[in-house]
Amino acid sequence: MPTLPELRSALLHHLRYSVGVEPDRASVLDWRVALSHVLRDRATAPWLEAARRTRDEGLKSVNYLSMEFLPGRLLEDAAINLQLRDAVVAAFDDLGVNVADVVDDEPDPALGNGGLGRLAACYLESMSTLGCPAYGYGLRYERGLFRQHFEDGRQIERPDEWLSHGDPFSFTRPETAYEVRFGGELDEVDGREVWRPATRIIAAAHDTPVVGYGGGWVNTLRLWSALPGGDLLDLDRFNAGDFMGAADLETWARTLNRVLYPTDTTDLGRELRLSQEYFLTSASVQDVLRRSLATQDDLRRLPEQAAIQMNDTHPAIAGPELIRLLVDDHGFAFDGAVDLATQVLSYTNHTLLPEALEMWPVDLMRHLLPRHLQIIERLDRRIHEVHGHAADEVHLIEHGHVRMGDLAFATSHRVNGVSALHTDLVSRNLFPHLEALTPGRLINVTNGITPRRWLKLANPALADLVTERIGPGWESDLERLRDLEHHAEDAGFLEAFGSAKHQAKRRLASWLADEHAIELPLGSLIDVQAKRLHEYKRQLLNILWTVSRWQRIKADPEADWVPRVKIFGGKAAPSYAAAKDIIRLINDVGRVINDDPETRDRLRVVYPPNYNVTMAEKLIPAADLSEQISTAGMEASGTGNMKFALNGALTIGTLDGANVEIREQVGAENFFLFGLTGEEVTARREQPDHARTAIEQSQALQDVLQAVAEGTFSPDEPGRYGSLLDHLWTSDWFLVAADFDAYNSSQELVDRTYRDPQRWQRMAVLNMARVGCFSSDRAIGQYMKEIWDIPPAQ
């Protein structure tokens, strides 16, 4: 552990020699870069040591392929895990630098959409904490997802310049580079298939250390980017004066890691997206093989050395790619290559939604990856040869499309769903035929979250209180929170717990005031729904209920209403029109309600733009109520639900995803349940005219819809929400209307409960105490044992 003078002089050293400025002239950015170097130095020794041990002892490592990673800001997390946070704060104090400014200067890399990308980041951190050798593989999107702005309440997308000041915590490794090939033709030479690609792009690595808690083990997040230059510039065209045309190929290469998932509503968008997926997968699989061959020369031993985890279907081309490399480059027979690949690969399914389960047109696949299409066709034939009629219902290719979920299943030795309910639905509705061919292949691993970031970093007041009561150690053994149950009846503890919550609310309030000029009434019940905007997540139900609450306060202003702040956070996909309508409605409703002098001390709507990991770290600790209100059967798991409960928020939710298990753990009496079950949802959708019937049965909902239809919230354009309303009356696939009254009753119970602060506090403590099993350490322990066959670290 460095002493204060050592840390101080390390900061000064890097300020001078890595950044090149004197302390009296240093900007916040300069100090941040210096801090990045100091922390990276501290991570490097255990990092190199972990790599050495992995090589020398022949340890098996995990290769986690994911198109998305949402790591959040790195520095504070690294400082905590290296157990240097207090020392860093003291060193900056000593230097007269405001450490909060330095921490806030760091950009939050938005290399993902939501839960799936954040899960990948929690899992990498847990693998390091558990000493499980691992590489996270992804793409280094130059502009990330997008930065969300609101203009007149509408979502506007702008490029996210997270790299504009460099990436000082990472190492660039231009020599760790692989050629990735696209397009071209297949030829048969001496009975072997030879792929003659049209385009070759070099993928080069950027490595970020991922420090485990305690600093004992450090893994790598390896992100690829296309290496420009070299052959990519057409010098003949350039010399002939065609400067733009000369750079066509270079432009295309750079496009591969420019932004996360371009809109795939156009053919070109689809082609780029499949190219991105292949670019990630091919570079990563080649790297896995190279690392294996660096320690021994027999690839038949690959399953003893490497597990490859496909995070959803995006890297599902890994099966054909691994088979291709084994057959075409390493002399394997096809069947042997398939068996080997299957032993190495496994696949996590994160959704039942048809639009998120990828299907690539055969023509596109032939155009971009002709050899892979051939391998997929052969895999499909092989399944039917091996299983005969039992495989009649299994099709890797159907209606002119390659079904990537089925492909991933067929090339994996284990497939997992992400919550008990989800896995059950995957088994019954998604892969029943494949599962019948290979019983036991599909298992459940319920998602988890890292307590280091989601409690220790995000909620210091509460984390300190926990340590004070039950001692340290819970950070890497979250089940220990159970000890808090003994304190749930202790009035002194409940008060301290309440004051930690209040502190988090004050932090949120000052951030909202500084960054967004929004005032947060601190005495209110803070009610938060923060997640991607999606119809199934039903932000619409939440905002329609908010309107209803407003109408009722106005109808009965003298009644004793519990003051509420409804906070929303989340982005919509740029091409998702219905979700964007909902964003605009939330903002329109907010404008009217927040301006209403009659209600504004009892109801507010707050929607800060550009939700990301950093904002989550502010919202979640401050929340009293967590909104987990998806249409049952549609949310695979949820992980936000776990973060809120861990921070002592109570959940209002449906029986969906991991809500089911959270409720089992915390106790039904400590959870506000409402709404149709998955089976009831299916039955209700089949009833003719169910939407209209539900609306006609709820006077409260009719009043709300009428206000929206009349333009109460969009007086300049009363018809603005015509299509949204029309959808509610005629189809309402997400059953907003059917669940409206039940949601309202549950919200009324929330109010009644909140009026008794001791009772509320006790329920919140029990929530926190009982969600230890949702630690990502537990989840990763299960992956190691049940999927990767990696023993616990010694």
Q: Which residues bind ligand NBG (CB under 6 A)?
A: 114-116, 119, 312, 350-351, 356, 418, 447, 635-639, 657
Which residue, 40 or 403, has its beta carbon nearer to ligand NBG?
403
Q: Which residue is nearest to ligand NBG (CB)?
A: 115
Closest CA to 437 of 417, 412, 400: 412
DSSP state of 313: S
Spatial separation of the C-alpha atoms in residues 347 and 117, rounded to whole Å: 15
Please work out, in degrees rounded to the nearest 5, the angle formed at the alpha carbon of residue 608 by the alpha carbons of 603 and 611: 130
Residue showing tokens 């002592």:
648
Phi, psi (deg, nearest 5) at residue 490: -90, 110
C-beta of 430: minimal distance to ligand NBG in Å? 13
C-beta of 64: minimal distance to ligand NBG in Å? 13
Please pick, among 73, 413, 414, 532, the residue that the annotation labels catalytic.
532
Which residues make Cβ contacts (< 8 Å) with residue 33, sequence separation at least 6?
14, 18, 19, 165, 166, 168
Strand 345-348 vs strand 306-311: parallel, antiparallel, or unpaired? parallel
Which residue, 416 or 548, has its beta carbon nearer to ligand NBG?
416
Please pick, among 450, 631, 639, 651, the residue that the annotation labels catalytic.
639
Torsion angle in degrees (nearest 10) through CA of 303, 379, 310, 777: -50
Q: Is 188 helix (H, G, I), strand (E, B) or coil?
A: strand
Please work out, in degrees rounded to the nearest 5, the angle formed at the alpha carbon of residue 581 by the alpha carbons of 575 and 584: 120
Active site residue 129: no
Please pick, among 60, 564, 604, 643, the residue that the annotation labels catalytic.
643
Which residue, 221 or 636, has its beta carbon nearer to ligand NBG?
636
Which residue, 208 or 419, has its beta carbon nearer to ligand NBG?
419
Please pick, among 537, 564, 604, 770, the residue that the annotation labels catalytic.
537
Active site residue 3: no
Which residue, 422 or 770, has its beta carbon nearer to ligand NBG?
422
Which residues make Cβ contacts (< 8 Å) with residue 76, sequence separation at least 6?
85, 103, 457
Helix (H) or strand (E) holding 228: none
Active site residue 537: yes
C-beta of 356: minimal distance to ligand NBG in Å? 5
Structure tokens given for 558: 């003298």
C-beta of 355: minimal distance to ligand NBG in Å? 10
C-beta of 134: minimal distance to ligand NBG in Å? 18
Active site residue 690: no
Using left for φ > 0, alpha for ψ between -120 and 50, and beta otherwise, residue 99 falls in alpha
Active site residue 73: no
C-beta of 445: minimal distance to ligand NBG in Å? 10
Helices (H), 369-403: 370-387
DSSP state of 775: B
Spatial separation of the C-alpha atoms in residues 706 and 101, rounded to whole Å: 47
Which residue, 50 or 629, has its beta carbon nearer to ligand NBG?
629
Q: Is 621 helix (H, G, I), strand (E, B) or coil?
A: helix
Active site residue 643: yes
Which residue, 303 or 638, has its beta carbon nearer to ligand NBG?
638
CA distances from 61 to 76, 127, 306, 644, 707 (A): 27, 10, 5, 32, 58
C-beta of 316: minimal distance to ligand NBG in Å? 13
Which residue, 252 or 536, has its beta carbon nearer to ligand NBG?
536
CB-based contact 628:640 (threshold 8 Å): yes
C-beta of 69: minimal distance to ligand NBG in Å? 13
Q: Hey, which residues are catalytic here?
A: 350, 531-532, 537, 639, 643
